[in-house]
């Protein structure tokens, strides 16, 4: 009797777990379909070429202009800068935590870095707006501190936890035998790290970097508060930029449901979805390589 009960319980729990797993896939798929459905109808009213290649974003004007070139460039520009700042910092922090730091410091550092991930982005944005923006303006003597550079600095902070903790896992999963081999050959600590550990964990680190970038490009609140939101193609890192995410967030509340403007925001969402999908796909490919 008890056996049958256990059997049924096992069976049910297995099904529930299966359902949960499948649900995630269904949701992603449904979200994509919804975006596609809402976004595609935009191209009935506006040409795809003008949308992707247009430089001007004046959605509330008459006639409206829906060119997202400057928005896409804005998003990528901020993301690349954030990458240049956060990758060296993040990977070196991960190396330090995994290889050099004594256990006590290691524990403290790890939990503090993870705590960084817990700060809501609106708080980061607010702190950036009050402290970083005036500082950047005075430091570089530029017209305004609301620039892609300030945004990238703040975003680099937000990408750090992802990059550090996943890189650290990758570095720690390098087999001991590799290190023993290197040390046996007379390599110094730095030589071991640089020649053996880093190359061995590189795919994992690349995966970490791509995931971090995925977070940066999708980040909304902080960039909306710090980057200035001027929809033009930046000519230097100190120019303000407007990102795709900030545009959606700032304008979604106002649009009349079903209008061209409303659908155009979904079309931006679609572009964003495709970009993050590609980034995640690359990250996944790298992560898979590490496991082999």
Partner 1 sequence: MTAVKWHIICLIITGVSLYLISCNRKPGSSDQQEYKKAIQIKGSDTMVNLVQAWAEEFISNHPDVNLGITGGGSGTGIAALLNHSCDITMSSRSIEEKEMEEAEANNIHPVEFIVGLDGLIIIVNNENPVIELDLDQVRDIFLGRIDNWKNTGGYNSKIVILSRESNSGTYTFFKERVLKRGNKNSKEEFSPHALLMPSSQAIVNEISQNPHAIGYVGMGYAHARVKSLKLKDTSKPADADPVAPTIDNVLNGSYPISRPLFLYTNGEPSGNIKVFIDFALSERGQIIVRETDFVPIK
Q: How far apart are CA 179 and CA 197, in angstroms?
A: 7
Q: Least distance (Å) from partner 1 to the CB of residue 75?
A: 15
Give the up-direction half-sphere exposure of residue 9: CA atoms within 13 A in the CB hemisphere.
6
Query: Under 8 Å CB-to-CB from 198, ≥6 apart: which residues?
Result: 95, 171, 205
| Nearer residue to partner 1 within complex by CB, 106 or 232 | 232
Q: Is 275 in the site for partner 1 (CB under 8 A)?
A: no
Task: Determine phi and psi for 18, rounding to 5 degrees.
Answer: -60, -45
Query: With CB under 8 A, what is the number of residues at the site for partner 1?
Result: 32
* One residue of 38, 228, 245, 266 binding partner 1 per CB under 8 A: 228
Among positions 17-46, residues that touch partner 1 (CB under 8 A) are none
Q: Which stretch binds partner 1 (CB under 8 A): 35-43, 85-93, 168-176, 250-258?
A: 250-258
| Nearer residue to partner 1 within complex by CB, 53 or 134 | 134
Q: Which stretch binds partner 1 (CB under 8 A): 102-110, 149-157, 207-215, 251-259?
A: 251-259
Annotate each residue in 48-77 with x if it binds partner 1 (CB under 8 A) or - if it does not, as one string. -------xx-xxxx--------x-------
* One residue of 88, 120, 143, 181 binding partner 1 per CB under 8 A: 143
Q: Least distance (Å) from partner 1 to the CB of residue 51?
A: 17
Annotate each residue in 168-207 with x if it binds partner 1 (CB under 8 A) or - if it does not, as one string. ----------------------------------------
Q: How far apart are CA 234 and CA 149, in angstroms?
A: 11
Q: How far apart are CA 231 and CA 223, in angstroms?
A: 13
Q: How far apart are CA 234 and CA 237, in angstroms?
A: 7
Q: How far apart are CA 208 and CA 162, in angstroms?
A: 7
Closest among 167, 126, 185 to 286, alpha carbons compared: 167
> b/e for 146-175, b at 16 or more Cβ within 10 A?
bbbbbbbbbbbbbbbbbbbbbbbbbbeebe
Q: How far apart are CA 208 and CA 214, in angstroms?
A: 10
* One residue of 50, 69, 169, 255 binding partner 1 per CB under 8 A: 255
Grouping H, G, I as helix, E, B as strand and the rest as coil, residue 221 is: helix
| Nearer residue to partner 1 within complex by CB, 179 or 263 | 263
Grouping H, G, I as helix, E, B as strand and the rest as coil, residue 132 is: helix
Q: Is 224 in the site for partner 1 (CB under 8 A)?
A: yes
* One residue of 78, 95, 97, 146 binding partner 1 per CB under 8 A: 146
* One residue of 3, 104, 256, 292 binding partner 1 per CB under 8 A: 256
Interface residue list for partner 1 (CB under 8 A)? 55-56, 58-61, 70, 129-130, 133-134, 137, 143-146, 224-225, 228-232, 240, 242, 250-251, 253-257
């Amino acid at each position: 009797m008890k056996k049958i009960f256990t059997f049924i319980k096992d069976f049910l729990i297995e099904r529930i777990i299966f359902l949960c797993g499948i649900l995630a896939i269904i949701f992603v798929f449904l979200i994509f379909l919804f975006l596609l459905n809402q976004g595609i109808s935009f191209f009935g009213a506006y040409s795809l070429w003008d949308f992707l290649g247009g430089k001007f974003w004046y959605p509330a004007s008459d006639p409206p202009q829906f060119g997202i070139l400057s928005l896409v460039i804005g998003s990528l520009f901020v993301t690349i800068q954030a990458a240049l700042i956060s990758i060296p910092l993040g990977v070196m922090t991960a190396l330090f935590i995994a290889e050099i730091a004594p256990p006590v410091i290691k524990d403290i550092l790890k939990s503090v870095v993870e705590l960084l991930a817990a700060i809501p982005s609106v708080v980061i944005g607010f702190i950036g707006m009050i402290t970083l923006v005036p500082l950047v303006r005075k430091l570089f003597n530029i017209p305004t501190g609301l620039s892609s550079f300030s945004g990238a600095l703040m975003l680099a902070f937000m990408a750090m936890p992802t990059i550090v903790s996943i890189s650290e896992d990758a570095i720690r999963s390098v087999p001991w035998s590799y290190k023993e081999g290197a040390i046996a050959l007379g390599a110094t600590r730095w030589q071991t790290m640089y020649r053996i550990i880093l190359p061995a964990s590189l795919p994992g680190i690349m995966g970490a970097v791509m995931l971090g970038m995925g977070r940066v490009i999708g980040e909304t609140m902080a960039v909306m508060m710090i980057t200035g939101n001027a929809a033009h193609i930046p000519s230097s890192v100190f120019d303000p930029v407007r990102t795709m995410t900030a545009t959606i967030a700032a304008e979604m509340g106002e649009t009349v449901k079903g209008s061209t403007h409303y659908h155009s925001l979904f079309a931006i969402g679609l572009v964003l979805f495709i970009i993050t999908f590609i980034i995640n796909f690359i990250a996944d490919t790298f992560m898979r390589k590490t496991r082999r």
